């Protein structure tokens, strides 16, 4: 018998629910071509995707000054917004996980730091907008993860207490936000975690190596 009763699952977006790294890298590569700067290889860039746009620009253009940095950041966002869903898809096995949740009558949602002007069209293009009980973006509230406010809003929209919810993410701020909200937390080790990070120190309730690991983890608490 478990000590808690899970009733809903929420996912981070980039690096947890969907694999946006190919399109994010392509946008950074295009920007590098425009600026005649060589961008690090995909294997390096992938580990930075969950850190957001600013981290990607610092990685690709480490010596740029502050005024130029903002120009590059805005140009990157423009390029990416025009190419949101060329090679972005659900991670392998995730479609079956969502189908399982829906079959069980367990609502699921998305809580991301990605701004709504990018999140909403991407979620819609993947056909997830009508399936998710909640989609909370980085600018939906006045706080972003690691603050718990976005997760608390998602729980409120789902009508389920945070203690009965699971949050899955691939960054330390995801776990910090989930724990602060009083939720169960899982680390998606298949996500965008580079070798400088220490997920075993994040204090999550568990880890998964691929999306299909979510189902047996949920079943162990049913």
Catalytic residue among 14, 23, 174, 213: 14
Query: Please, are residues 48 and 25 in contact by the beta-carbon 8 Å criterion?
Result: no
Do the bridges between strand 184-188 and strand 165-169 make them parallel or antiparallel, or are there none, so unpaired? parallel
Whether 120 is catalytic is no
Helices (H), 36-134: 42-45, 53-60, 66-81, 94-103, 116-125
Whether 12 is catalytic is yes
User: CB under 8 Å, gap of 24 or more: what pairs does 50-59 form?
Assistant: 50/12, 50/14, 50/15, 50/170, 50/171, 50/191, 50/192, 50/193, 51/171, 51/192, 52/113, 53/77, 56/24, 56/28
Residue 126: Cβ within 10 Å count: 16
| Residue 1: alpha-carbon gap to chain centroid | 31
Sign of CA dihedral 147, 191, 28, 77: negative
Tokens describing residue 198: 């220490």
Tokens describing residue 183: 């939720």
Catalytic positions, written as ranges? 12, 14
């Amino acid at each position: 018998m478990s000590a808690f009763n899970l009733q809903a699952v929420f996912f981070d977006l980039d690096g947890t629910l969907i694999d946006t790294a190919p399109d994010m890298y392509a946008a950074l590569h295009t920007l590098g071509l425009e600026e005649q700067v060589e961008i690090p290889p995909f294997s390096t860039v992938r580990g930075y995707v969950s850190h957001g746009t600013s981290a990607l620009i610092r990685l690709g253009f480490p010596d740029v000054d502050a005024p130029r940095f903002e120009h590059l950041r805005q140009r990157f966002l423009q390029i990416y917004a025009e190419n949101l869903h060329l090679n972005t898809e659900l991670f392998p096995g995730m479609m079956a996980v969502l189908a399982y949740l829906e079959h069980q009558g367990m609502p699921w949602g998305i809580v991301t730091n990605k701004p709504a002007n990018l999140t909403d069209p991407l979620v819609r293009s993947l056909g997830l907008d009508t399936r998710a009980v909640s989609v909370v973006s980085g600018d939906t509230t006045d706080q972003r993860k690691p603050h718990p406010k976005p997760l608390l809003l998602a729980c409120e929209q789902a009508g389920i207490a945070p203690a009965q919810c699971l949050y899955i993410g691939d960054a330390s701020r995801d776990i910090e936000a989930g724990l602060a909200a009083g939720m169960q937390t899982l680390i998606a080790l298949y996500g965008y975690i580079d070798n400088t990070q220490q997920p075993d120190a994040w204090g999550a309730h568990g880890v998964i190596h691929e999306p299909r690991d979510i189902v047996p983890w949920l079943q162990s608490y049913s």
